[in-house]
């Protein structure tokens, strides 16, 4: 996947949970550049921190959804997936990359988001795939869903394509993934507070994700990172 080269030589600018951002990641965000998995992992971790007490929602970094379909056998898949407790979650967000070559760390040219949705007891579980340039990543999403089904109580879980605003360039797919993830998390919070909220997040995605919001999100991510850097610096100075 798209890690970015020369990591050992790059200046580290922020450690956030398990994610280390480098100086080159800030350049990527200033664009126009394809997002790497560090940036996607960072923002999903940031969203997850806002839902830290919510055991029903799980946001995974790109490395795990990429690893699962590329493991050699079901036992290896179960060893990685069992600690995630996927069957007990109501929503699981999984970023999908189309890199066909596990030996090529910077491979892949498209990001999408696969959601394991078990939030509606009436309709039952489903996979919802959000692709801003369909059907580019549908094969990769199907591979991931096929690996996950045996780990879930209901094995015949359908995969549907969720309505997703289309990107108008060749590099913003990762930002669309993050914008869709943010809309889903906002919907999840609203749903928990108001019983009359939308039955699923699809309308929220239509409302909140578009070219303008995606363009603005790059700036918002840079501002978020700079704020966290400043907070870390201040904390370190006070601890001296």
Q: What is the pLDDT of residues 172-193, one digit of tens each?
A: 999 999 999 999 999 998 887 7
pLDDT at 235: 65
Report if residue 128 sits inside a domain: yes
Q: Tell me the pairing of strands 12-16 and 19-22.
A: antiparallel
Report if residue 138 sits inside a domain: yes
Report if residue 5 sits inside a domain: no
Look up the domain containing 61 and give its range. Answer: 31-192+199-217
For 100, the token pair is 């066909």
Q: What is the CATH classification number for the domain harbouring 99? A: 3.40.395.10
Report if residue 9 sits inside a domain: no
Compute the distance between CA of residue 51 and CA of residue 56 in angstroms, rounded to an integer.
Answer: 9
Report if residue 17 sits inside a domain: no
CA angle 217, 221, 224 (to 5 degrees): 135
Report if residue 62 sits inside a domain: yes
Compute the distance between CA of residue 232 and CA of residue 207 in angstroms, rounded to an integer.
Answer: 34
Report if residue 8 sits inside a domain: no
Is a pLDDT exceeding 90 seen at residue 214? yes
CB 178 within 8 A of CB 184: no
Is a pLDDT exceeding 90 seen at residue 104? no
Mean pLDDT of 69-81: 96
Tally of domains in the chain: 1
Q: What is the average pLDDT score of the chain?
A: 90
Report if residue 23 sits inside a domain: no
Is a pLDDT exceeding 80 seen at residue 2? no
Please write the tens of the pLDDT for every residue from 7-28: 556 799 999 889 999 999 999 9
Q: 238: pLDDT confidence band, cut at 50, 70 and 90?
A: low
pTM of the full predicted structure? 0.92
């Amino acid at each position: 996947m798209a890690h970015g080269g020369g990591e050992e030589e790059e200046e580290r600018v922020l450690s956030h949970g398990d994610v280390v951002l480098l100086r080159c990641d800030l350049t990527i965000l200033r664009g126009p550049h394809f997002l790497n998995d560090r940036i996607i992992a960072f923002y999903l971790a940031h969203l997850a921190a806002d839902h830290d007490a919510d055991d029903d929602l799980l946001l995974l970094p790109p490395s795990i959804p990429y690893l699962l379909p590329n493991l050699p056998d079901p036992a290896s898949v179960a060893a990685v997936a069992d600690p995630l407790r996927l069957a007990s979650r109501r929503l699981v967000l999984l970023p999908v990359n189309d890199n066909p070559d596990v030996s090529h760390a910077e491979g892949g040219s498209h990001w999408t988001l696969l959601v394991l949705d078990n939030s509606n007891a009436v309709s039952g579980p489903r996979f919802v795939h959000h692709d801003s340039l369909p059907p580019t990543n549908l094969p990769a999403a199907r591979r991931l869903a096929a690996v996950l089904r045996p780990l879930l109580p209901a094995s015949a879980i359908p995969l549907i394509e969720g309505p997703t605003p289309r990107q108008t360039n060749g590099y913003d797919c990762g930002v669309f993934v993050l914008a869709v993830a943010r809309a889903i998390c906002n919907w999840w919070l609203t749903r928990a507070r108001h019983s009359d909220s939308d039955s699923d997040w699809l309308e929220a995605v239509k409302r909140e994700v578009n070219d303008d919001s995606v363009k603005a999100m790059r700036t918002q991510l840079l501002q978020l990172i700079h704020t966290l850097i400043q907070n870390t610096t201040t904390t370190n100075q006070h601890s001296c």
